[in-house]
């Protein structure tokens, strides 16, 4: 293989950045129309039929081979351009079941909302697909663009994989990319090497007692006090057992038991969530929660509780080599000051499902708000709306342009070497 001088690679990257920027600026009016349409018509997990049909139609126009209804409502769009790597680019199709309160002229009115910015991601995904096809003389390989359903319920990636995503469409990709809008200043990009999102496990525990009269606790077995003890004591798993330098959270979000003040109920149900980044911390927290639940019941001489710890999404582990390689082109295109490493988010994301199949992946964040608004919020001024807020309202043009250009460049960067081979 011929070695390509580093100067030539840098010059090529600069030319790519310029080309991608020009292409995306040119197509922006069409992208904005699509964005506003998607924003006004959100659909929740596994019901994204209109959304999927829209993306499928747009991708066919660009020349992709499109398969619909993969993993229920998912879309797979393939574009082959000679021998080279296969690169997966994921967007999510779903909105959230909530009323939008942004007051925007194109706000949704159907009881669902794109308050996580998946409409920004879909529009950037279309923009990147178009730009990459327009630049096809500069790269070789296969694009696997996927529109994934049900990200918000952390179940759509699994549905697509279970439906044969890596068997039916030409194999396991060589690289995978996804981006997420975040309440950063628009024009800025953040990412991390290693964990970028958390492991998430749900807690469902039923404490069992024996119901009775509130005036005669000795004739009953009170599950309320057992649950109360558990809720307090379980926090020592975090404060006394976990390495304080490692991230970990246990939150109890719901306690249900009893009807009135003078009846001791039979059972109490406790629900919560466990979050962590590292697999070892996750194991420690799961074991600790289970042990404290059993011990709380044992202390009252009650039957063992029914403890269910249900795995949700695993942390996304960004590939270090891919992050380093992509970082260079992003910095060149957007400037050192606008491209930086950031701490992992505590939320969960099922992009990890693809990466955990052994695919080197990178998940990065792109900003959506005016820099002066973000700066004011950082100084204690009016807060900017976070993802999942009914007021979440990205500024479309700079948010979409940055996301589309960043994704185009990230993909080009791993595919252009194949084109440069003699």
Give phi and psi for 8, each to the nearest 5. -65, -40
**Closest CB to Zn ion among residues 116, 414:** 116
Q: Which residues pair with 77 in a beta bridge?
A: 66, 145
10 Å Cβ neighbour count for 249? Answer: 16
Minimum Å gap between C-beta 9 and Zn ion is 33
In sequence order, what are the residues at sequence separation of 6 or more whose Cβ sits closer than 8 angstroms to the Cβ of residue 259? 265
Distances (CA, A) of 307 to 233, 254, 276, 287: 16, 15, 19, 11
Q: Is residue 55 within a helix (H) or strand (E), and if so which, with residue range?
A: helix 49-62
10 Å Cβ neighbour count for 26? Answer: 12
- Two tokens, residue 401: 């342009």
Binding mask 59-98 for Zn ion (x = CB under 5 A): ----------------------------------------
Query: Which listed residue (13, 76, 116, 403) binds Zn ion by CB under 5 A?
Result: 116
**Closest CB to Zn ion among residues 116, 409:** 116
The window from 41-49, 62-70, 110-118, 185-193 that contacts Zn ion (CB under 5 A) reads: 110-118
The window from 108-116, 322-330, 350-358, 365-373 that contacts Zn ion (CB under 5 A) reads: 108-116
State the number of CA atoms in the 13 A half-sphere of 391 facing the CB: 7
384 with 183: CB under 8 angstroms?
Answer: yes
Q: Is residue 362 within a helix (H) or strand (E), and if so which, with residue range?
A: strand 361-369
Minimum Å gap between C-beta 63 and Zn ion is 28
Minimum Å gap between C-beta 393 and Zn ion is 15
**Closest CB to Zn ion among residues 206, 348:** 348
Minimum Å gap between C-beta 126 and Zn ion is 17
Tokens 């009115």 correspond to: 109
Minimum Å gap between C-beta 388 and Zn ion is 6
Minimum Å gap between C-beta 249 and Zn ion is 17
178 touches Zn ion by CB under 5 A = no
**Closest CB to Zn ion among residues 58, 151:** 151
Minimum Å gap between C-beta 111 and Zn ion is 17
At 249 the three-state DSSP class reads: strand
**Closest CB to Zn ion among residues 54, 114:** 114
The window from 109-117, 214-222, 230-238, 376-384 that contacts Zn ion (CB under 5 A) reads: 109-117
What is the maximum alpha-carbon separation in the chain? 88
**Closest CB to Zn ion among residues 76, 116:** 116
The window from 116-124, 315-323, 338-346, 351-359 that contacts Zn ion (CB under 5 A) reads: 116-124
**Closest CB to Zn ion among residues 156, 265:** 156
Distance between CA atoms of residues 396 and 408, nearest Å = 18
# residues near Zn ion by CB under 5 A: 1
Size of the chain, expressed as the number of residues it contains: 422
186 with 399: CB under 8 angstroms?
Answer: yes
| Contact residues: Zn ion, CB under 5 A | 116
């Amino acid at each position: 293989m011929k070695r390509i001088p580093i100067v030539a690679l840098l010059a090529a990257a600069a030319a790519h950045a310029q080309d991608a920027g020009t292409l995306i600026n040119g197509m922006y009016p069409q992208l904005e129309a699509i964005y506003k349409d998607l924003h006004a018509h959100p659909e929740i997990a596994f019901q994204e039929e209109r959304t999927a049909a829209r993306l499928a139609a747009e991708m066919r126009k660009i020349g992709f081979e499109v398969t619909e209804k993969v993993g229920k409502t998912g879309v797979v769009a393939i574009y082959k351009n000679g021998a080279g790597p296969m690169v997966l680019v994921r967007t999510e199709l779903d909105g959230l079941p909530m009323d939008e309160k942004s007051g925007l002229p194109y706000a949704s009115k159907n009881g669902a909302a794109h308050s996580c910015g998946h409409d920004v991601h879909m529009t950037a995904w279309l923009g990147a697909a178009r730009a990459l096809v327009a630049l096809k003389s500069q790269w070789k390989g296969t694009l696997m663009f996927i529109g994934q359903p049900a990200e918000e319920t952390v179940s759509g990636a699994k549905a697509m994989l279970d439906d044969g995503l890596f068997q039916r469409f030409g194999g396991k990709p060589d690289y995978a990319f996804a981006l997420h809008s975040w309440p950063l200043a628009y024009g800025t990009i953040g990412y991390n090497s290693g964990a970028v999102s958390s492991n998430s496990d749900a807690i469902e525990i039923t404490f069992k007692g024996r119901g009775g009269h509130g005036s005669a606790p000795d004739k009953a077995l009170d599950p309320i006090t057992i649950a109360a003890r558990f809720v307090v004591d379980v926090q020592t798993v975090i404060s006394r057992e976990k390495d304080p330098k490692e991230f970990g959270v246990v939150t109890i979000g719901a306690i249900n038991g009893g009807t009135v003040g003078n009846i001791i109920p039979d059972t109490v149900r406790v629900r919560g969530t466990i979050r962590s980044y590292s697999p070892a911390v996750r194991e420690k927290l799961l074991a600790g929660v289970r042990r404290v639940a059993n011990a709380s019941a044992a202390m009252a001489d009650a039957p063992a509780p029914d403890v269910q710890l249900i795995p949700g999404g695993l942390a996304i582990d960004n590939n270090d080599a891919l992050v380093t390689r992509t970082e260079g082109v992003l910095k060149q295109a957007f400037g050192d000051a606008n491209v930086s490493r950031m701490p992992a988010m505590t939320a969960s994301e099922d992009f990890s499902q693809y990466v955990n199949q052994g695919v080197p992946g990178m998940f990065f964040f792109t900003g959506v708000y005016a820099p002066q608004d973000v700066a004011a919020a950082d100084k204690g001024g009016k807060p900017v709306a976070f993802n999942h807020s009914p007021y979440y309202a990205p500024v479309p043009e700079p948010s979409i342009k940055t996301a589309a250009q960043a994704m185009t460049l990230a993909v080009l960067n791993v595919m252009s070497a194949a084109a440069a081979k003699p």
